[in-house]
Chains A and B, each alone.
Chain A
Amino acid sequence: MSVMGAIINLNHPAHVVEWHFIQLSVANIVVIGLMIVVFVLAIVLPFPGAARRRGESS
């Protein structure tokens, strides 16, 4: 935590984004964004050896 504290000042209440009744902390928004990025990359990026396997099985 001390290393992270040197990079980011954590000594304050969480930053929160509010939109009507929706209330999300910035930390949670970052995690949700990362999940979406990982999900898209998992679909787009080729899996190692996938093309070779398809070629061998056809």
Chain B
Amino acid sequence: MSATPARPPSWTGRVREAAVDALPPEKLLPDTQPTYVASWIYVFGVASIASLVVIIASGCILALKGPAWWHYTGVGHFFNSIHLWAVELFFFVMVVHLWGKYWMAAWRGGRTRVWITGAVTFLVAIPCALTGYVSQQNFDAQWIATQAKDGLNSVGVGAFFNVTNFGQMYSYHVLLLPATVVALVVAHVLLVRRHGVVPPFALEDRAAASGAASTERDATLAIAEGPSAAADGPSS
């Protein structure tokens, strides 16, 4: 009898097997992380995600209640401000995250797609935020829209969309661009889980010198959070 497992007959089974092979549960939700992750510079990725959660939640409330609510009621002003300042915080921590990952060359060790998804998320988040400024339904939005129109026309992209068209910009702002940002963030996080958090240069050099197959699998780097932590090792 052959021990080779049979290939699942259905596409759903094949997708499931491919997904589990690419990202087994212990990699998807690891118990431990390498010790080098115990640094403030590694906090800004999850801070970006936390800000994004607040942005999405406050944005949903604003979309439910509408412009009259966010312009003319105290609670509406409050949620409008929460939405604005969560965006400010999102970009603040995302830029610090970007700087940290740039200076540690986070694309090392087969992490090119991790870097690319992060960089593209940043680029897509910019128009996502700017379409919010022109979706306010006030004179500020009109002023920004007309200034943006001239700027976009001057660089030759004004024929593809109209920043003075509220319906179009609002659709971009509440659906197309945030859905893209969230999808990219999900892909980014799953890729980080698959490849592991990039190690510092010194640890990578040490692993290469000792002939270790994978820096992240080095049990000496595991955080001893439980009796089996050293044996488990971090995700890679």
Contact = CB atoms under 8 A, between A and B. Distances in A.
Contacts of A49: 38
Interface stretch (B60-68, B122-130, B207-215, B216-224): B216-224
B175 interface: no
A50 B230 CA distance: 16
A14 interface: no
Q: Lowest 10 A-B CB distances belong to which pairs?
A: A42-B40, A50-B38, A56-B224, A42-B41, A47-B38, A53-B223, A53-B35, A54-B35, A39-B96, A47-B39
A54 to B, nearest CB: 5
Report the contact-size class of chain B (Cβ under 8 Å from the partner).
Answer: 10 to 19
Interface in A19-51: 31, 34-35, 38-39, 41-43, 45, 47, 49-50
A35 B96 contact: yes
Contacts of B95: 35
A11 interface: no
Contacts of A56: 223-224
Contact of B92 (A31, A42, A47, A53): A31
A9 interface: no
Given A47-B39, A50-B39, A57-B35, A42 B222 contact: no
For the complex, would chain A's binding face be called helix, strand, loop or mixed by DSSP majority? Answer: helix
Interface residues on A, range: 10 to 19
Nearest to B93: A38
Given A31-B92, A35-B92, A42 B100 contact: yes
Nearest to B221: A57
B72 to A, nearest CB: 15
18 contacts: A31-B88, A34-B92, A35-B95, A35-B96, A39-B99, A42-B39, A42-B40, A42-B43, A42-B100, A43-B41, A47-B40, A49-B38, A50-B35, A50-B38, A50-B39, A54-B38, A56-B224, A57-B220
B172 interface: no
Contacts of B166: none
